[in-house]
Amino acid sequence: MIAALARRVWPHALVIVAVLGVVRWIDHHAAARTRGEIEAARARIEASVRSDLRRSEQRLAITMGALARQVHALDDALAERSRTDIRPMLTRELTRETRLSDPALGISDGVREQLNRAIPPVACAARPDGAIRCAMPDAGAAARQ
């Protein structure tokens, strides 16, 4: 009885084992193929991100270079302004102007203008009345004070 039952069930069991084996084989290969596709997609995304990052870094470098050139130009302009040498202008004014020997007249308008141009904007001094004086007054205003 068991032998007869085994002979009738054996072909069906063999088919079931074969079907399960084929399903397992398909599942294994599908999983491997899916892992390969996932890895390829990850590699494409990584390459895209790296490319975007390189372009962003290049744009940033260009922008920073332009800003650095602007800062250097402003720094050079400030250095040039603070480097103004007024001695030749003062010498020229002193030799040209004879009024400088008169204490009542003070300095000439040309000397005052050259001094005011040479004094940086931050060279201000407090006055006794609490105000701040940053430029030298002209001869008429100096006489009234």
Q: DSSP secondary structure string, 29-78?
A: HHHHHHHHHHHHHHHHHHHHHHHHHHHHHHHHHHHHHHHHHHHHHHHHHH
Distance CA 58, CA 53 (A): 9
Q: Which residues of the chain have pLDDT under 50?
A: 122, 142
Residue type (1 letter), 144? R
User: For 97-121, how does the pLDDT look when each residue is reduced to its tens digit (9 = 90+)?
Assistant: 666 656 566 666 777 777 666 665 5
The two structure tokens encoding residue 94: 């002193």
**Digit-coded pLDDT (tens) for 53-66:** 999 999 999 999 99
Q: Tell me whether residue 5 is exposed, middle or buried, using C-beta atoms within 10 angstroms of its C-beta: 0 to 12, 13 to 18, 19 or more.
A: exposed
Euclidean distance between CA atoms 82 and 121, whole angstroms? 10
Residue 29 is predicted with a pLDDT of 85
